[in-house]
Structure 1
Amino acid sequence: MVALVKAQAKIKVDNTGALLNVPVLLTDQGVFDPLLDYLISESHHRSLPWMNRVVFSCQLLLEYMEVNKGLFSEPSLLFLNFVQRLSHGTIDTQGYDPSGLFWLPRKASNVNQIISALNGLTDWLAINQNTTLLNPFTEATSHQERLNYAAWHKRNQYNFLGHIKPQGLSETMRKARKIRGKKDVIKTDGDAISFPEQLFKPLFIDGFGKAKDPRVALRDQLILLLMHGSGARESDALHLWVDDVFEDPTNSNSVIVRLYHPEEGKAPHRWIGRKRQTTRSAYLAEKYHLVPRNKLTGTARVGWKTRIVDHSDNYIQMHWFPAYLGELFAVLWRQYLLYLLPIERQHPYAFISFSKAKIGNPFTLNAFNQSYKAALARINRIVSKPEGLTPHGHRHVYGRRMSNAGINVKIIQKALHHASLHSQTVYTQPGIRDVSVALEQATQKLDGQHHSLFREDVELNWKTIMEHGFDDIDPNGLFTGRYPKFKG
């Protein structure tokens, strides 16, 4: 089987000094050019995770094509069998796979993502390089038309003017892909597992606070406060600049924290560049020869998810809840700045590494996740998404805390910086743990009362219950009934 290797490349597309960072596939013939052409054409409005997903999907398809050369009479038939192998795997019941792929069955959602990525790639190649479509459109059945309309409605129901049908929609509704993925299981809005409130103090004091280096302890406690007390994502916190924290004019004991868009946010101190630019992207380039962290690759990259800003300067303002956490942040922030002052930094970011090898460098997500894991270990806990013991669990508990306090949903939406109310339902609706606790509390209220499942005149003991028999699990009366055949 041909060796395919994914790599990160810097591509020169013009005569300027700017280089384009994109993932590529390396074959024994060099870079796989059709994929590279597609990624370059889409790079101006696509994210790095999207590019990585396309490259991975293409790699799977090329590997499948390599081990099945000349086997299929037409491209769509090859693609159909490729999708089936994604769904069901390539290994037989004896653990044998002559192709050497040894693929395990994939989740329906993952298969559908791969199909979608390859649809985009092969459609573009068909239009721009006259290749044959792998997954062409066919006439949709009436059932598929209804599904298409339902999908369109779901995508647009929360958008402004989303109810207005665009021209050509009916024609789109009448088309369907020849090859589609499996139907995924129907999910509820999801169970947003929030961080347990009772563990916050131990994590803050005995977890992060017991780090050997006091500078590390302060830095990580500040990030924790941003997540737990203002709902910041861990990636949001790492975009914070030293200049983004201000004294609160309404409360001198607290601070205002603003998180600016890493590219479009306004540069600090009314800075104006040589070409009259005022954005952070220009500021980083001119002053530090850096690019925004969301444009980097590898471990240095820090994503940015928020699309809604609070001000024309392109920032979101964090809101402390409860308010006293902002006062705690203010105290620790002043101490942290004293630790930061003597360290040489070639960047404006607030949170830095204090390790000897990387001292002064911007703190990375990987490094914070390791600190988070170590802090949990100090309080005898481990990272666990089902228990809410993850960095993102603090954003969930922030939303859940506001909901439990009876705060208006529009205020919660504003505090979480969500584009729509629908986006925050996962943060504020009852979770699995909430339902279990509520039912347990309700059960306790029933103590001492007769359950309607049994007659009030029947004594509730195991012997009496067993005499009634259980026809579904013991139809022959071996263990139950008035005269069981096998007596305990």
Structure 2
Amino acid sequence: MQVVTMRMRTSLKIKVDYQSPTRLHKMRLPALVTSQGILISLLEYLSEKKRSNSWRKKVTAAVAMLLDYIALSGISFSSPTILLKSFRNALTNGTIDLDLEDPTGLYWPNRRHEYADDIVILLTAYADWLAKQPGHSGIIMNPIREATTHEEKLNWCAYHHRQDGKLLNHLTSEHDRNSNHFTREVSRDKSSAIILDEAKRFPREYYNKLLDKGFIIASSRSQEKHARTDYKSQAMTILMNAGGLRKSELFHIYLDDIDIDTTRNEAIVRVHHPAYGTAPNGYSNRKDYLNRKFRMKPRNEYLEEEALHAGWKAPTTNQQMFFAVEFYPPSKAQEFLLAFHNYILYQRVDAKGRHPFAFTNSNGRPETINNFQRLHTAAVRRIGLPCSKYDGTTEHGHRHAYGYRLAENGFIQSYIMHAMHHAHPDSCLVYIQRTAKDLREKMRATEAYGKTTPQSDNEDNRSKARPIVSYRDTTWERRQ
């Protein structure tokens, strides 16, 4: 029997310009259109929460899945707890039976427990908010099988959640549980113990080859180096591999954010908060500057589907709402400066007052994440490597290489946290842990030297026990 893969939908995802009652200006938001119209309560919820567009997209998708399940499962649910348990079970086990049939028409595959947890947590927060809204809580009391609109179905969940507090509970604190009157009716499933994902860092032995041989302007037939070399992609890659920047942070950098330390002949690069960072020419902040001078929004406020979108993962900044790029090794600041200088001199297309961003495309418009990903992928394949997260050859592999290089050279965790602009000290652990490859190499080295036991753990824990790099008189000096 052939499985029908077309999945039924009870709502349509669109983008709308929505003006909240509490805001003066419209916001571009994802929305759900049902047979009864746009789900207004969802728009109100998304506009009220100061979260990323990526988060808004996930909430919208989660609500759409719940509405599909309520409408198509054919089950008469007697309580929101039973509904959520059934919904979660459908997420983790799928809806397709052993005969490859699915009476719901959803054709959901089985998913990881962690995925189901994330979906249910998003729905719980929405239900919490909905239960507190006037006109949404305490007025719809019909069983769900008698409800006639999607809003009523969500109201029903919110009403019962407010009444008995048994929709969900993922809180870990006893104090939080007591204060919110939650019980653990539907909680996280216990999954197998796993270690942190291995740091898939860009392979060190191919890095210089990527810069020199990978970043070539394919359309150029000239043999002249300045016409053939893609200096822009070189500079952006150095910022990630030697400066630890996230890919998305590259696209918030203004031309004025890159300066020169003339005493050292090194680049000084600052990354400002896309909305609240200090703006040039006396504007109140960068959001005000972009709006009034260029009729643009901060790039993290564009939806993911829009070309100008660039995320912002809330790195730690100073009081002026920026952080400085810490190049390592420090000599890489000169290497970046050379690539960026060549880019400005030979290749950057003048923006002609249309925007302030440092990196532009061939039309002088702000460079986009999608285009840079395309250039990076082509460069990786040009030097004979596959471009995959598993091999560490995607853009994010460079940030992993930066963090691992710091740990490898003895920087303690607090230094790495500062260099990578993490808010929590444990966030850098995924970047600095040993990998299976490291373990195998250690085993081979031990065997080669005729040792029966590994060397002291002090070597593996040297970032804690014996840092070999210290900060002294504003310069990094390697201890002899």
Q: Shorter chain as normaliser: what TM range? A: 0.7 to 0.9
Q: Residues 57 and 256 (structure 1 numbering): CA distance in 2 closer, same or farther, change over 3 Å? A: same
Deviation at 1:440, TM superposition (A): 2.0
How many Å separate the matches in 1 of 2:331 and 2:233? 18
> What does residue range 88-487 of structure 1 map to in structure 2 within 5 Å?
88-128=93-133, 129-130=136-137, 131-133=155-157, 136=161, 151-152=172-173, 168-169=175-176, 171-172=178-179, 175-209=182-216, 211-213=218-220, 214=227, 217-252=230-265, 254-268=266-280, 271-273=281-283, 277=284, 279-297=285-303, 298=305, 299-309=307-317, 311-338=318-345, 339-340=347-348, 342=350, 344-354=352-362, 359-446=363-450
SS in 1 for 2:132: helix
Larger CA Rg, structure 1 vs 2: 1
Deviation at 1:427, TM superposition (A): 1.4
In structure 2, what residue type is equivalent to 1:336?
Y
The percent of aligned pairs where both chains have the same amino acid is 29
In structure 2, what residue type is equivalent to 1:333?
F
Q: Residues 330 and 40 (structure 1 numbering): CA distance in 2 closer, same or farther, change over 3 Å? A: closer
Q: Residues 40 and 408 (structure 1 numbering): CA distance in 2 closer, same or farther, change over 3 Å? A: closer
Q: Counterpart in 2 of 1:18?
A: 25
Q: Residues 342 and 420 (structure 1 numbering): CA distance in 2 closer, same or farther, change over 3 Å? A: closer
Once the two structures are superposed, residues 7-51 of structure 1 have per-residue CA deviations (whole angstroms, 9 ceiling, x without a partner) of 111112359872111110012222122322322332xx1221111
Q: Residues 96 and 125 (structure 1 numbering): CA distance in 2 closer, same or farther, change over 3 Å? A: same
SS in 2 for 1:175: coil
Q: Residues 308 and 445 (structure 1 numbering): CA distance in 2 closer, same or farther, change over 3 Å? A: same
In structure 2, what residue type is equivalent to 1:98?
P
Deviation at 1:342, TM superposition (A): 4.4
How many Å separate the matches in 2 of 1:110 and 1:323? 40
TM-score, normalisation: structure 1: 0.79
How many Å separate the matches in 1 of 2:334 and 2:367? 24
How many Å separate the matches in 1 of 2:85 and 2:425? 39
How many Å separate the matches in 1 of 2:28 and 2:228? 34
In structure 1, what residue type is equivalent to 2:200?
I
Q: Residues 392 and 342 (structure 1 numbering): CA distance in 2 closer, same or farther, change over 3 Å? A: closer
Once the two structures are superposed, residues 299-332 of structure 1 have per-residue CA deviations (whole angstroms, 9 ceiling, x without a partner) of 32101113311x3321111111112221121122
Q: Residues 2 and 237 (structure 1 numbering): CA distance in 2 closer, same or farther, change over 3 Å? A: closer
How many Å separate the matches in 2 of 1:381 and 1:317? 32
How many Å separate the matches in 1 of 2:9 and 2:176? 43
TM-score, normalisation: structure 2: 0.80
Aligned residues: 415
Contact map agreement 2:277 2:322 (CA 8 A) in 1: yes
SS in 2 for 1:381: coil
SS in 1 for 2:269: strand
How many Å separate the matches in 1 of 2:308 and 2:236? 18
Q: Residues 215 and 33 (structure 1 numbering): CA distance in 2 closer, same or farther, change over 3 Å? A: farther
SS in 2 for 1:396: helix
Calculate the aligned-residue CA RMSD, in Å.
2.7
> What does residue range 7-46 of structure 1 map to in structure 2 within 5 Å?
7-13=14-20, 18-42=25-49, 45-46=50-51
How many Å separate the matches in 2 of 1:86 and 1:170? 26
In structure 2, what residue type is equivalent to 1:239?
H
